[in-house]
Amino acid sequence: MAIAITLEQYLADSDIDYETLTHPRAVSSSQTAEVSHIPGSRLVKAVLLKEGKDAYLLAVLPASHHIRLDQLREWLGRPVALATEEEIEALFSDCDLGAVPPIGNAYGIDVVVDDSLVGDDDIYFKAGDHATLVRVAGTTFEKLMGSARQGQFSRNP
């Protein structure tokens, strides 16, 4: 599949410089980091969360970390829960399940970013399938995150 059409269009419309990289198929973020020879701290994963009845939030964190829903709920001051596979498929219909890009703005979804992603290093993220990554400069990634709230809601096991 390569890069998801919604993501590709958003990056083009936003005049974002990026590179795509292919790798052997890997389903999990940790497998992707391993087969791509990329540190898990520079590979970003996105976790879709549900807020209330019809609102969603995309939590963006390093692939090497685990999301801490309790910390996130406390920081946000409201309840959130993991979205279902059906909800993920509906919102990211041009992506493979488990290959959600962290660019929520492309899909009209608010984003929160874990503090551990702040820095100038290159950032890698899934392009919408299990064999393609997008690489952007750290400063470009910060631009892509735009007005996303930043906080600490993950831990490195």
- Residue 146: the pLDDT is 86
The total domain count for the chain is 1
For residue 57, give the CATH number of its domain: 3.90.960.10
Q: Is residue 52 part of a domain?
A: yes
Q: Is residue 82 part of a domain?
A: yes
Q: Is residue 157 part of a domain?
A: no
- Residue 148: the pLDDT is 93
pTM of the model: 0.93
Locate tokens 């391993």: which residue? 34
CA distances from 98 to 14, 53, 93, 125 (A): 25, 22, 12, 12
Q: Is residue 114 part of a domain?
A: yes
Q: Which residues, given as ranges, of the chain have pLDDT below 50?
A: none
Residue 5: which residues within 8 A CB-CB, separation 6 or more? 94
φ, ψ of residue 73 in degrees (nearest 5):
-60, -45
Query: Which pLDDT tens digit goes with each residue over 76-94?
Result: 999 999 999 999 999 999 9
Q: Is residue 137 part of a domain?
A: yes
* Domain around 132: 5-152
DSSP string, 33-65: HHHHT--TTTEEEEEEEEETTTEEEEEEEETTS
